[in-house]
Amino acid sequence: MTQIAGSPGNTMTLELWPGKAYPLGATYDGSGTNFALFSEAAEKVELCLFDTDGTETRITLPEVDGFVWHGFIPNIEPGQRYGYRVHGPYDPANGMRCNPNKLLLDPYAKAIDGHFDWDQALFGYNFGDPDSRNDDDSAANMPKCVVINPFFDWGVDRPPNHEYADSVIYEAHVKGLTQTHPDIPEQIRGTYAAVGHPAIIEHLTSLGITAIELMPVHHFANDSTLIEKGLSNYWGYNTIGFFAPDSKYSSNPNPGGQVQEFKAMVRALHEAGIEVILDVVYNHTAEGNHMGPTLSMRGIDNAAYYQLVDDDKRYYMDYTGTGNSFNVRHPHSLQLIMDSLRYWVTEMHVDGFRFDLASTLAREFYDVDRLATFFELVQQDPTVSQVKLIAEPWDVGPGGYQVGNFPPQWTEWNGKYRDTVRDFWRGEPATLDEFASRLTGSADLYEHTARRPVASINFVVAHDGFTLRDLVSYNEKHNEANGEDNNDGESHNRSWNCGVEGPTDDPEILALRGQQQRNFLTTLLLSQGVPMICHGDELGRTQGGNNNGYCQDNEITWIDWSTADKELLDFTRTVSRLRADHPVFRRRRFFSGKPVGRRGQGLTDIVWFTPDGAEMTGGDWDSGFGKSVGVYLNGHGIPDMDTRGQRVVDQSFLLCFNAHHEAIDFALPPEEFGASWEPVVSSAVPVAPEPGQSHPAGATVSVPARTVLVLRAE
């Protein structure tokens, strides 16, 4: 035991015990706090404790085991603010950037309080001279880590554990979803508490949502370049704290209060049967390239945490477009990721993760390797392997587009689904065969790795790109507000403005745009796989043609609840209920195309028809002008079992897709497929067809231009 005197002017006197090397981070046990920090580069590590007035007390950690520096201090309680200073070599050319003048955030901090002011003191060099060394003290310019209270009354909370096949995911931004909702108290709008508010939960449950996928909530840095333009990092893909929920989304003013508020949000969503999936960024950090600031891992052990250029280690490998790439080769970097994932599952009760630029995590060396160490660790982990794992299967490096190539345990954002469905409904030729593949679960992408249709996370729109309304309203991006002369964002959007660019009063154009939105939503919700809706698309949300709203924390990106398209919302609810009520739309296995036996009257589980009622042939699929197709889904051909081991049986459906600019007559199948057919959804109108309007087998039904018609066999 060691007595520690406070800094000059500070009367604090503390005891210092050796403590333990595990767990890493600051861990409060009811009597005091254990501090542990990994650094192989360090020669000495100082723990820095801060009083409420900013007074700093520095404590040299007394013990080091396996490159983990640690100590235990009795009576250090939740709310204590802290950071680290690491003494060691400063030799950028050899990848070493220790500088004890820079206060550093704990990579394992459970909460972070404050913000970066982007003073030169945050940088390891002097502006204008990147080869110089800057020894200005950065403590006054840095946020501080916070010791948290780990105790929380979860009550009877338990994960909903929805099967993938039964899931409907809702991608949302904490602030963008809630900032203008009239039924949420103003003081909590834009926060975790708002997401857990009954008004939001009721909206989600009315849509049949089973999981909300939150855009990054790990503590992130607001880019100085954006602040200079009067903008800010809205999306949050600039992480600097893998364990800490960002305080910007908290209505609790107490240091560390964001942790309690986040847990309360999860508990409320779980009570409503809604899972919580986090969009996580483990591929890079906010410290950027060699010109970036020294905020945390760069000053703790630069070479351990980042992939450096082999022949000149002052520079960083950049597969992410953000300046650096996390070093998934190093065991302690891998441990940091795995510890973070386990923490969010076990302590914060989240139900899964969507991994941003996941291909980067497979780059142990240069090439993408789906059997990289990270994926092996996930597969072997008894906690992480059991939650939902969703890959964004690309990065910006060579060979980074890896849709269909992730390990069997993983699901993927299916970018090919997005592109094909967009092309089909804007009338692009030669898309029919691929459209059929995407509609039925993308077996061409996933079946060869023994995966099932649920490996495909189907989406037409996500946060990155046009909203659904803008997808049918703009041919070109309109990102002028971002201050980059409209050069940022994707230029090839596969969008169609229906004849007029942007806002219009033309009733025919508006009607067509509404119909196209319904086409996309119907296709999405009735495709095999897991549908993902982007927040506000069911309400007709617009960003005014901005397809890169990453820096727009304002009305451009927030949902405007006062202008919600209630007809579109009701239509979305109708189609979502149809999906939920009928397992034929959410099969757990791919279609076989084989007869299903006596109960199925010898019919195959799926049949494709031309509009004239003939079964599709190879020539029909290869026809470049084909824009219309019918598909019969056999409700007796589902190879799934229910929880009691009984084979699932459903009604049969016929889906008639007409992407042509004119109405097409579809001949209904002969009587062996169904004696009569009742329309249940038509995207040509915003309301469900009147019940009882049946058509006999073999009859002809006119399907309007650019319409999907869903009929149920009777």
Q: Which amino acid is at 547?
A: N
What pLDDT, on the 0 to 100 scale, is given for residue 8? 44
pTM over the 0.85 mark? yes
CA-to-CA dists, residue 552 to 108, 148, 229, 234, 549, angstroms: 29, 31, 11, 6, 5
- Shared domain for 654 and 687, answered yes or no, is yes
- Residue 268: count of CB within 10 angstroms of its CB: 19
- Shared domain for 527 and 674, answered yes or no, is no
Q: Which residues of the chain have pLDDT under 70?
A: 1-12, 364-371, 597-601
Q: How far apart are alpha carbons 356 and 319 in whole angstroms?
A: 12
Q: Which two tokens stand for residue 188?
A: 């909590």
Answer yes or no: is 181 within a domain: no
DSSP type of residue 318: -
Answer yes or no: is 4 within a domain: no
Q: Of 529, 554, 584, at which residue does a domain stop?
A: 584
Query: If you write DSSP's letter for every residue of 96-128 in order, what string do you get?
Result: EE--TTS-B--TT-S-EES-----GGGBSSBTT
Half-sphere exposure of residue 347, counting CA atoms within 13 Å on the CB side? 17
Q: How many domains does the chain have?
A: 2
Which of these, 356, 309, 196, 327, lies nearest to 262 by C-alpha position?
196
What pLDDT, on the 0 to 100 scale, is given for residue 398? 78
The DSSP H or E segment spanning 202 is: helix 198-206
- Residue 51: count of CB within 10 angstroms of its CB: 14
Which of these, 212, 120, 131, 205, lies nearest to 170 by C-alpha position?
212
Q: Which amino acid is at 128?
A: G
- Shared domain for 535 and 640, answered yes or no, is no
Phi, psi angle pair for 477, to nearest 5° = -70, 155
Q: How far apart are alpha carbons 288 and 310 in whole angstroms?
A: 18
Helix ranges (DSSP H) in 501-549: 507-526
Going by C-beta distance under 8 Å and a sequence separation of 6 or more, which residues neighbour residue 559? 176, 177, 179, 180, 181, 535, 536, 539, 541
User: Chain centroid to CA 152: how far?
Assistant: 26
User: Whole-number mean pLDDT of the chain?
Assistant: 94
Answer yes or no: is 36 within a domain: no
CA-to-CA dists, residue 574 to 273, 425, 567, angstroms: 20, 21, 11
What pLDDT, on the 0 to 100 scale, is given for residue 366? 52
Tell me how far apart the terminal alpha carbons of the chain are, to the nearest angstrom. 81
Q: How far apart are alpha carbons 15 and 3 in whole angstroms?
A: 5
Q: Locate tokens 């497929």: which residue?
A: 673
- Shared domain for 631 and 482, answered yes or no, is no
Helices (runs of H) and strands (runs of E) counted in the chain: 15, 31
- Residue 90: count of CB within 10 angstroms of its CB: 17
- Shared domain for 266 and 353, answered yes or no, is yes
Domain that holds residue 225: 197-584
- Shared domain for 506 and 643, answered yes or no, is no
Helix ranges (DSSP H) in 463-506: 468-471
Ramachandran sector of residue 540 (left: φ over 0; alpha: ψ -120 to 50; beta: rest): left
- Residue 385: count of CB within 10 angstroms of its CB: 13
Answer yes or no: is 493 within a domain: yes
Q: What share of the chain is helix, strand, coil (3-state, %, to 5)?
A: 25, 20, 50
Residue 393 in 3-state DSSP? coil
Q: How far apart are alpha carbons 89 and 199 in whole angstroms?
A: 54
Catalytic residue numbers read: 356, 392
What pLDDT, on the 0 to 100 scale, is given for residue 190? 98
Answer yes or no: is 302 within a domain: yes
- Shared domain for 554 and 691, answered yes or no, is no
Going by C-beta distance under 8 Å and a sequence separation of 6 or more, which residues neighbour residue 517? 468, 469, 472, 537, 540, 568
Residue 209 in 3-state DSSP? coil
- Shared domain for 469 and 327, answered yes or no, is yes
Whether the Cβ atoms of residue 258 and residue 247 lie closer than 8 Å to each other: yes
Answer yes or no: is 670 within a domain: yes
Whether the Cβ atoms of residue 305 and residue 330 lie closer than 8 Å to each other: yes
- Give me the CATH number covering residue 685: 2.60.40.1180
Whether the Cβ atoms of residue 357 and residue 397 lie closer than 8 Å to each other: no
Q: Which two tokens stand for residue 619?
A: 């020539």
The DSSP H or E segment spanning 495 is: none
Q: How far apart are alpha carbons 699 and 666 in whole angstroms?
A: 8
Q: How far apart are alpha carbons 210 and 205 in whole angstroms?
A: 8
Answer yes or no: is 9 within a domain: no
612 class by beta-carbon count within 10 Å (0-12 exposed, 13-18 middle, 19+ buried): exposed
Q: How far apart are alpha carbons 486 and 483 in whole angstroms?
A: 7
Which of these, 255, 259, 281, 164, lies nearest to 211 by C-alpha position?
164
Q: How far apart are alpha carbons 274 and 204 in whole angstroms?
A: 8
CA-to-CA dists, residue 226 to 113, 437, 551, 555, angstroms: 21, 42, 7, 17
For residue 23, say if its preceding peptide bond is cis, omega within 30 degrees of 0. Answer: yes
Whether the Cβ atoms of residue 476 and residue 547 lie closer than 8 Å to each other: no
Residue 91 in 3-state DSSP? strand
- Shared domain for 417 and 447, answered yes or no, is yes
What pLDDT, on the 0 to 100 scale, is given for residue 76? 97
Answer yes or no: is 35 within a domain: no
- Shared domain for 470 and 517, answered yes or no, is yes
Q: Which amino acid is at 592?
A: S
Residue 637 in 3-state DSSP? coil
- Per-residue burial over 159-186, b = 16 or more CB atoms within 10 Å of its CB, e = otherwise: bbebebbebbbbbbbbbbbbbbbeebee
Of all residues in the chain, what percent carry a pLDDT higher than 70? 96
- Give me the CATH number covering residue 227: 3.20.20.80
DSSP type of residue 616: P
Q: Of 518, 552, 584, at which residue does a domain stop?
A: 584
Q: Which two tokens stand for residue 413?
A: 């954002």
- Shared domain for 219 and 364, answered yes or no, is yes
- Shared domain for 670 and 708, answered yes or no, is yes
Q: Of 584, 613, 630, at which residue does a domain stop?
A: 584
Q: How far apart are alpha carbons 142 and 116 in whole angstroms?
A: 5
Whether the Cβ atoms of residue 624 and residue 429 lie closer than 8 Å to each other: yes
